[in-house]
Structure 1
Amino acid sequence: MILARENTTMTSGVRQTGPRKRILVTACCLGLFAAQWAQAQEQQATTTATESSAQEQDVNTLDAVVVTGIRQSIAKSVETKNESNSIVEAISAEDIGKLPDLSIADSISRLPGLATQRVDGRSQVINIRGMSEQFAGTLLNGREQVSTGDSRGVEFDQYPAELINAVTVYKTPDAALIGQGLSGTVDLQTIRPLDFGERRIVFSGHGEKNSLGEVSADGDDKGYRASASYVDQFADNTVGVALGIARISSPFQEEHYKAWWWADLDAVDWGDPPQAGRPANAIALQGSEGWVKSRDLTRDGVMGVLEFKPNETYHGILDLYYSKFDQDEVMHGTMWSNDPWFVGENGAGVTYSNATTTTIDGHQVVTGGTLNNVQPIVRNDSNTREDKLYSAGWSNTFKWDKYTLGADLSYSRAERNQSVLELYAGRLDGQSIDFNLGAGPGFNQYSLPDMADPNAVYLWDPQHYGHDGRLEDSRQEDTIKAFRLALNRTVDSDFLRSYDVGVNFNKRTKEKVATVYFADLPNGRAPQLVDPSDLNSPTSLGFVGMGDVLSFNPRRLLNEYYDVYVSESNDDLRKDFTVEEDVKTFYFRANLDMDLTDRIRLRGNAGVQYIRTDQESTGFNAASTLSSQTLGTSYGDILPSLNLVADFGDGWMLRFGAAKTLMRPPINYLSADSSAGVSTTAPFVWSGSGGNPTLEPYRARAFDLSFEKYFGEGNYVGLALFYKELETYIYRQNFPNWDFSEYTPDPNGPVPVSNFGNFSTWANGTGGLMRGVELSTALSGNTFHPALDGFGAQLNVSYTESSIDPDPNDSSLGTDTIPGLSKIVANATVYYEKHGFSARLSQRYRDRYRGEYSALFGQRQYRFTLSERTLDLQLNYDFPESSPLSGLSVLLQANNLTNEPFRTEVSESTGTGLFFPEEYTEYGRQYLIGFRYKL
């Protein structure tokens, strides 16, 4: 699949995308039309009001909303956006435990300027305004949350949508908001039972199926989801209780192909041996892989809320949340290297025969032929993961006279235990592989010998890794303990409504420990056949023409066939670290409310935070003498913020925000690990690399402007502009005059010529700008014409650009985008809801971006991810109150209707500037059918 890219042309290595402008122009025209129509409606409403006072309508509030379901959810969300003093986006559940999507990440990603990054086929992390999840803050009921990954980015698939009642995304900072991010802050909210005002019991259940079917004998394509919730009030509505439980057992299937790397090996002098039959000066693929994965996810979530409000003086709320997330994954596939450096068992390298080339942008690319003397490895992997997430918070509010005192105590902890096992097999001699690399999107095609023959495929190390299997067990724990005091005082003033002062103490500790084992066959690692009783049915890789591969349960074989022992390199030892942060936040906020004129009301807030951070890390100094080291630093920041809303009446609003913001470095960057050594060839100089516990945050100045028009029930159109100037950014940098005097050279190695050399680490550097525009609207059909009653749409599109180059020292990549930046992000939802029936069709689009993913052996890796369009459908019917089935709803949902593939590309390795296809993976469609019953 050569240079396969939808609607994209390449000229001299520069990408050009025509449809982007058309998407943006279409959305802008729609917004302008809606605004003009809204103005006409307001004029008509004014005329009608003078004729009949009985038809008066206040378009500035949504207090009279009486619709239910989708329209009610949209109306509540629009109301939240309307009434906020900040620039926010919001989601509100249609009913208890009924958010618009079954995935909380999917729901959030439909908001203007937000996008989700798919991981293993499901939405997992959120990118806000073109910045990766590392730049976003995540709260649960206003409290900062830990992460189950090895950094700060929260994985939203840990939070069942059935237990979340609303979400607010703050795009502008607020001095009283603790734990906010640089790109934005996501606040997940559970229900408040006293606000709900009535008893409600809800049960739901869904069956689930993946369209790819069972891709392997030990996989499953069927699952289920079930949830139940209970909300009630007691003692004259002074005590409220909410309980919820949700379980998901979900199958995910995967058909995967990946091209390893591309290069014209004649264009550079890498000392590579010649390859017979390879066309001279042609770009060739140097390795390939194909596999299938079956992934079973089981998640149990529990939510509890106890609310107590005996009088107007005291209000207490106890929130508890727990989730347990188990993932069992099996992989069966094959892969090989065919670069000039690979030498087979017979001592010969890989050669080509009958090679054909295609001219692409003036370069010859090998697209077909036969590879000879390749030794494909058959991989059977078993990966398990168990995540546990705990969160508890106890808030107490005391009111007297003009004062309100709040005290909040919270605790959040995440635990992850992960085990990654891979075992190797293959034929004993070199093989010939026919290949055909197509020019269009899809899977490439290969022809392999029978890799499932139990009499010819042995357990051994065909690719010469130096071991016959590898196991890595890791454990990490992330804990936040926090306490907050806040005081609010109302003020009798023409411009100042009240002010807030507060302090928050936050202690965070993140620990990670990993152990690596090698598995070797006995008798000097002699190849061994697998007993037929230990084999599963062969797994088909027919989607890439690779035929069947030998398949087995590697956990079962590990103790039966292998000797297992600990074997850790310096890189493995450096994975262990502890990072501690003590963060003290002091803030003041003045809440403004005044009438500028008879028609213009100004509200908002102005405030400042002072944040004092003390951080330290302990990690391994993996030099010749292994030892631990503890390093750290302290710093303080003053962060002013301003949010103003000018309400011109008749639904017209102008919002302005200005602030200084920060985001502390990714936690894994702060690891105190390091490794160093002396070169084994003259001039015998030191070199090393490691983390940096003395890093300071990303810091930025942000400015926002938003024009909004609200009309009718749940209708609005908005145009937002934002500008962020990042004063600092964190880069991987080289320090050529690093002092290595505290490192001990290998006593059996060469003597260094001096104590100075090159050290590579993360460091603060200059930043750059980010800017963008967002257009969004929510429209109901009956606002235009009574015949359209029940129809509606939510549409948004955003454009973001940045001057930041995250790899300024890597000239081979040119100017890269920062992680998470898609220049174009668009969402469209159209729906119909009437007489109990509802239908919703939603599509998400994001432009190509630079994603951050888990890579080989648990490391993090940036990959150029191509554009995605995912389409979801939901059909629902609520039985009417007159029916014996009143309270029952039935639902049919299809996610990823078009089976949108996950695609990445990689730059050619010898500086041509061309990008070639890297990964192409399909996950299939997810179908759900189920019910929901409420009492």
Structure 2
Amino acid sequence: MNRFSFKRSALAVNVALVVSGMSLSGVAAAQQNLDEAPIEEVTVVGVAASQARNLDQKRFNVGVSDTITAEDIGKLPDTTIADTLQRVPGVQIRRSAGEGSTINVRGMPQVTALMNGEQFLSAGSITTVQPDFTDIPASLISGITVHKSPTASLLAGGVSGTLDLKTIRPFDLDSGVTLAGNAELAQGSESKGDDGKVSAFAGFNGDDYGLVVTATYDQKTMANYRNGTILNGMELIGEDIRDQRDFNGDGDNNDTFLSQRFYGVMDRGTERDRFGLSASFQANITDSLEFVGDVFYTEMEDADRKQGMMIDSARGNNWAYSDQYEERLAGPLGGSIYTVNRAELSVRRVSSYAESLTNDRDSTNTNLQLNYEGEGPWSGSLRYLHGDAERSHTENVAHGYLTSGAQHGLLRNDGSGAEPANPRGYGPEDALVQFDRTGDYISLQFEPGFGSDINQYNLVSTYSENNFQEDASLDVLRADARYSFSSGDIASIDFGVRQGERDVTRQTHILVAPFTTGDYSADVMWKDSGASLGDTNGDGENSVAGGDMTLGSTNYYSDMPEGWVNEVSDFGPGSVPGTFYFINPEVMDDNLGFQNAIYPGNKELVQPSRSYQVEEQTQTAFVQMNLEGDIAGLNYVGNIGAQYVKTELDILQNIIGGDRPCSLCTASNKTGEETISRSYDDFLPAANFALDITEDLILRAGYAKTLTNLDIDDLAGGLSVGRSRAGDVLGDQLGVSPDLLVAINGTQNGNPQLEPWRSDNYNLSLEWYFDDASLLSVGAFYMDIESFIEQGTITKGLPDADGVIRRELPVTTDINGEGGSIEGLEFAYQQAFDFLPGIWGGLGASFNFTYAPSDSSNVDVYGDELPIQDNSEKSGNAVLWYDDYGWQFRIAANYRSDRLDRLADAIGEGVVPIWTDSTVYVDLSASYDINDYVSVYVQGSNITDEFENQYAQWDDYVITQNIYESRWSVGVRGRF
């Protein structure tokens, strides 16, 4: 049987009949009658239909791929696009407030996403090639294909995989008018808010022209607790002779312990308002010429609000240990390093911490396209795409003290004499905390009644930093063509050219307010009442106790305006008992208004080290031969070709001086700027081959060289130059005055000379379609990754204070480090049990498992090799579904083994790895068709209340917990 003829004729019948519930054995008979009578077009939806379409598209793609299609208009299987993608073999997701946000394919996050085969802009990830899928309403997407072995004609961009998001178009619909919509109510197990979602779809297919419009809006508030390390940071206590103990009883006080810097429990709530609108118009201009116009718009406002109790180990806590400590390895002082799982702490600082992070983002993508397909051998398309995206981000922090500050010497002086920064706070003997990480949840327990009096809270420190505005534009013009042959093994030749341009601008700023103490005046970012601007008592030393004045003001919670303070007694699982008070994070959403209300006169001050402008141009050309024939009587299809990509970058980078335009702040003076222009070329061969060993058994093989351009943040930023007085010797060598400040070193945010991600990928798989809706497959893959991004040193010409570059000097920045590899196996099984009798015939199941060990150049504290960051060696999915008699049900479990989250400090033979422990997330959905037009449904996500533990090196040393809630929704869906 000719594989392509089966695809184009019998396949259409198979899909229509299989998904409509006809006995699979009747498909062959239906094919025999294909030419004898017209077949009425029937649109069938549901779990079974979607599963069948997914397999159908996988089967007839030449390369290794997986596809997920919507079960109905506007209904992908899960809450978000990323949640849906985690069902694909080899795909692992990362979560934001419990929702799937970004993905890895086979262990690498360097994954690009296309829309209808082309690049697009997402406002949540302006600088990257992979979108933040929390931005994109799943209701606007009709299907997703994950390409794991790319072709030469597929736009380059993914090292390990390329996603192609599909939107619905008019000619995909039945003739006439189609209307659909749904309304949904949702609630979380912890947040308890009444959330909702509405979406509406209207489409018209007039055969020669058509229009579809989809609109969706949803609002949700999600609980997202965090225990343990409130702010990232590890430290080796005792290395600086601050706290050394004799744990092992050898008589030497040279033992130390490894600790996270901050301990606490945090109540986090994430609020998201999403709106999406898509429209598509299609028209047959002539019998051979078609016009397509698409508009895709997304808008999201979100706020991540945090409030929690925090103790700070950097302030010199005294520890009284129980027997819950573990000896780990040799310490730097000659003793041993220990970790502590349970202890009583005499805390020197207890902070009522509140934070608000907000985002306002939107994006618009427009596609205009002409498609030509005549009666001759030529066909092709011409496309123009334009995208705009912007994102505004704010961060606002408030530290309220419960302790006085005297414990660690934090004093204030407004001119009337020195006193503790929080005069009403707890004294040195009053803050004892029981800390315990031995249970299911990390816990803190204060003395009874601690923190229950609002009068003891004082807002000692507040600031707003890392605020930024990002803007991007995208323009693409491309032409593709195909020449088809009527005979021979070369079925057709595809070729095309493309010109793309992306401009990205980012401006980062802090908020500073004017302060005057004594004779000193300055703009200040860290508004800390115990901070001094300088020697205000004239003794030549900075000493608050000796009379130096500080920023000084007290802002007691009890004096705050109504609505500014929250009373909280529930921090979720593992909650600290008691009642505590916090600055209301919702009040802090307006960062400028909040800061002005406390300290008037704030202004935005640009942070040049985190600001930049980048123009990226790409020219692409490809050619690909599509093959079809037989070998020894076995049918095969394949393709072989290459893509050429030229990338040109113009990066405007700021040069930063040593002086600061403000006091107690993170900004530096901009002393100049330079535009760095560079270009690089890539030749990317690709070949794919699929052999029909039998009609149902397919062997696939693929090879491709892949490319992913870097995140703009990795390329651009500010260059800080360190300078010192030249002196006589160096001054003579350079021919300058000995008093000239000359460059000695540099630090650079972003490295314009970084090379992109590149890899050689190999794929081999065997797929058995033992039933038209069933699959058993096994695949092997290998990725040889050229390099990874890591911290290192380069040499660069740095300007002296007079602006002249005289020497090449070391600059600390990101560099291309040694590469690594990922190799693995994928196994997949899917079957519809329609051979079972009666109601059992509606059952079906799918299962997949991926084993993907990896290696990198990093090692842990024992010198053992670490894997690639964020890659789980093992991952898998199990799904049981039912679709019959109007009922649909699906329960799905997703598993990820431990994964390397990040690298902490260097200790022992390597670095301390921070791991995320293995997880199993379980989701379910159920629906009932009331009639042919209306159905009701219920969905549950994370129904087992799974949470994520992070541990440092040793799996019993849990330092952080991200605790997500389960969420439930009920809704009604209609289609007419």
Report the TM range for the smaller structure's normalisation: 0.7 to 0.9
Aligned residue in 1 for 2:623: 588
Partner residue of 1:351 out of 276, 297, 318: 318
1:509, distance to aligned residue in structure 2 (A): 1.4
1:523-534 alignment runs, 5 A limit: 524-530=551-557, 531=559, 533-534=561-562
Aligned residue in 1 for 2:240: 270
SS class of match (1:928): strand
Partner residue of 2:361 out of 382, 387, 397: 387
Question: Quick check: 398-407 or 104-113, which moved more?
Answer: 398-407
Partner residue of 1:205 out of 176, 183, 196: 183
Query: What one-letter code is carried by the residue in structure 2 that aligns with 1:711?
Result: F
The answer to whether the Cα contact below 8 Å between 1:253 and 1:923 also exists between their aligned partners in 2 is: yes
In 2, the alpha carbon distance for the partners of 1:278 and 1:529 equals: 46
1:218-257 alignment runs, 5 A limit: 221-234=193-206, 237-257=207-227
1:468-507 alignment runs, 5 A limit: 468-507=462-501
Question: Quick check: 135-144 or 762-771, which moved more?
Answer: 762-771
Aligned residue in 2 for 1:744: 801
1:173, distance to aligned residue in structure 2 (A): 1.1
Aligned residue in 1 for 2:300: 325
The answer to whether the Cα contact below 8 Å between 1:261 and 1:906 also exists between their aligned partners in 2 is: no
1:97, distance to aligned residue in structure 2 (A): 1.0
Aligned residue in 2 for 1:89: 66
1:55, distance to aligned residue in structure 2 (A): 9.2
The answer to whether the Cα contact below 8 Å between 1:175 and 1:641 also exists between their aligned partners in 2 is: yes
SS class of match (1:789): helix
Identity %: 21
Partner residue of 2:578 out of 544, 547, 567: 547
1:704, distance to aligned residue in structure 2 (A): 0.6
Aligned residue in 1 for 2:922: 871
Question: Quick check: 102-111 or 533-542, which moved more?
Answer: 533-542
Query: What one-letter code is carried by the residue in structure 2 that aligns with 1:224?
Result: G
Question: Quick check: 353-362 or 193-202, which moved more?
Answer: 353-362
Q: Deviations over 1:419-465 (max 9, x none)?
A: 1111221132445232232323322232156335221111113xxxx
Aligned residue in 2 for 1:905: 951
Partner residue of 1:798 out of 835, 850, 853: 850
In 1, the alpha carbon distance for the partners of 2:725 and 2:872 equals: 44
1:633, distance to aligned residue in structure 2 (A): 1.2
SS class of match (2:73): coil
Query: What one-letter code is carried by the residue in structure 2 that aligns with 1:581?
Result: E
Partner residue of 2:373 out of 391, 399, 418: 399
Aligned residue in 2 for 1:668: 713
SS class of match (2:853): strand
In 1, the alpha carbon distance for the partners of 2:957 and 2:744 equals: 37
1:325, distance to aligned residue in structure 2 (A): 0.5
Structure 1 residues 740 and 486: alpha-carbon distance in aligned structure 2, compared to 1, 3 A threshold: closer
1:741, distance to aligned residue in structure 2 (A): 4.2
The answer to whether the Cα contact below 8 Å between 2:394 and 2:467 also exists between their aligned partners in 1 is: yes
Structure 1 residues 175 and 230: alpha-carbon distance in aligned structure 2, compared to 1, 3 A threshold: same
In 1, the alpha carbon distance for the partners of 2:263 and 2:215 equals: 44
Question: Quick check: 482-491 or 711-720, which moved more?
Answer: 711-720
Structure 1 residues 277 and 651: alpha-carbon distance in aligned structure 2, compared to 1, 3 A threshold: closer
Question: Quick check: 674-683 or 295-304, which moved more?
Answer: 674-683
The answer to whether the Cα contact below 8 Å between 2:345 and 2:435 also exists between their aligned partners in 1 is: no
Query: What one-letter code is carried by the residue in structure 1 that aligns with 2:761?
Result: A
Query: What one-letter code is carried by the residue in structure 2 that aligns with 1:562?
Result: Y
Aligned residue in 2 for 1:893: 939
Structure 1 residues 825 and 52: alpha-carbon distance in aligned structure 2, compared to 1, 3 A threshold: closer
Query: What one-letter code is carried by the residue in structure 2 that aligns with 1:454?
Result: I
The answer to whether the Cα contact below 8 Å between 1:277 and 1:355 also exists between their aligned partners in 2 is: no
The answer to whether the Cα contact below 8 Å between 2:54 and 2:68 also exists between their aligned partners in 1 is: yes
Structure 1 residues 194 and 675: alpha-carbon distance in aligned structure 2, compared to 1, 3 A threshold: same
SS class of match (1:78): helix
SS class of match (1:107): helix
Q: Deviations over 1:442-498 (max 9, x none)?
A: 22232156335221111113xxxxxx3334421112222101011111112320111
Structure 1 residues 53 and 137: alpha-carbon distance in aligned structure 2, compared to 1, 3 A threshold: closer
In 2, the alpha carbon distance for the partners of 1:515 and 1:233 equals: 50
Partner residue of 1:714 out of 761, 767, 773: 773
Aligned residue in 2 for 1:32: none
The answer to whether the Cα contact below 8 Å between 1:65 and 1:72 also exists between their aligned partners in 2 is: no
Aligned residue in 1 for 2:632: 597
SS class of match (2:713): helix
Aligned residue in 1 for 2:734: none
Structure 1 residues 680 and 138: alpha-carbon distance in aligned structure 2, compared to 1, 3 A threshold: farther
Aligned residue in 1 for 2:519: none
In 1, the alpha carbon distance for the partners of 2:67 and 2:969 equals: 26
Aligned residue in 1 for 2:748: 689
Q: Deviations over 1:50-96 (max 9, x none)?
A: x99859999xxx99998641110011110000111111100111121
Partner residue of 1:788 out of 810, 820, 840: 840
1:718, distance to aligned residue in structure 2 (A): 1.2
1:755, distance to aligned residue in structure 2 (A): 4.7
Query: What one-letter code is carried by the residue in structure 2 that aligns with 1:88?
Result: S
The answer to whether the Cα contact below 8 Å between 2:191 and 2:222 also exists between their aligned partners in 1 is: no
Aligned residue in 2 for 1:5: none
Aligned length: 830
Q: Deviations over 1:493-512 (max 9, x none)?
A: 32011111100111111211
The answer to whether the Cα contact below 8 Å between 1:454 and 1:532 also exists between their aligned partners in 2 is: no
The answer to whether the Cα contact below 8 Å between 1:819 and 1:851 also exists between their aligned partners in 2 is: yes
1:261, distance to aligned residue in structure 2 (A): 5.3
Question: Quick check: 774-783 or 367-376, which moved more?
Answer: 367-376
In 1, the alpha carbon distance for the partners of 2:366 and 2:27 equals: 53
The answer to whether the Cα contact below 8 Å between 1:686 and 1:756 also exists between their aligned partners in 2 is: no
In 2, the alpha carbon distance for the partners of 1:57 and 1:361 equals: 73
Structure 1 residues 455 and 411: alpha-carbon distance in aligned structure 2, compared to 1, 3 A threshold: same
SS class of match (1:246): strand
SS class of match (2:610): coil
1:690, distance to aligned residue in structure 2 (A): 3.4
Q: Deviations over 1:345-372 (max 9, x none)?
A: xxxx432346543346687543444322
Structure 1 residues 536 and 366: alpha-carbon distance in aligned structure 2, compared to 1, 3 A threshold: same
SS class of match (1:524): coil
SS class of match (2:852): strand
| TM-score where L is the length of structure 1 | 0.83
In 2, the alpha carbon distance for the partners of 1:278 and 1:154 equals: 51
Question: Quick check: 867-876 or 685-694, which moved more?
Answer: 685-694
SS class of match (2:299): strand
Question: Quick check: 528-537 or 249-258, which moved more?
Answer: 528-537
Aligned residue in 2 for 1:436: 435
In 1, the alpha carbon distance for the partners of 2:338 and 2:715 equals: 44
In 2, the alpha carbon distance for the partners of 1:229 and 1:932 equals: 11
Structure 1 residues 139 and 862: alpha-carbon distance in aligned structure 2, compared to 1, 3 A threshold: farther
Structure 1 residues 608 and 200: alpha-carbon distance in aligned structure 2, compared to 1, 3 A threshold: same
The answer to whether the Cα contact below 8 Å between 1:276 and 1:351 also exists between their aligned partners in 2 is: no
Stretches of structure 1 lacking an aligned partner (at least 5 in a row): 1-47, 215-220, 343-348, 462-467, 855-860, 882-886, 908-912
Partner residue of 1:829 out of 876, 879, 892: 879
SS class of match (2:82): helix
Structure 1 residues 616 and 452: alpha-carbon distance in aligned structure 2, compared to 1, 3 A threshold: farther
1:651, distance to aligned residue in structure 2 (A): 0.7
Query: What one-letter code is carried by the residue in structure 2 that aligns with 1:923?
Result: Y
In 1, the alpha carbon distance for the partners of 2:755 and 2:567 equals: 52
Aligned residue in 2 for 1:370: 344
SS class of match (2:939): strand
1:730, distance to aligned residue in structure 2 (A): 3.2
**Root-mean-square deviation (Å):** 3.3
Structure 1 residues 567 and 160: alpha-carbon distance in aligned structure 2, compared to 1, 3 A threshold: closer
Aligned residue in 1 for 2:699: 654
Query: What one-letter code is carried by the residue in structure 2 that aligns with 1:212?
Result: E
The answer to whether the Cα contact below 8 Å between 2:459 and 2:555 also exists between their aligned partners in 1 is: yes
SS class of match (1:151): coil
Query: What one-letter code is carried by the residue in structure 2 that aligns with 1:374?
Result: R
Which of these two proteins has the greater Rg computed from alpha carbons? 2
Say whether residues 1:724 and 2:783 are aligned partners: yes
| TM-score where L is the length of structure 2 | 0.79
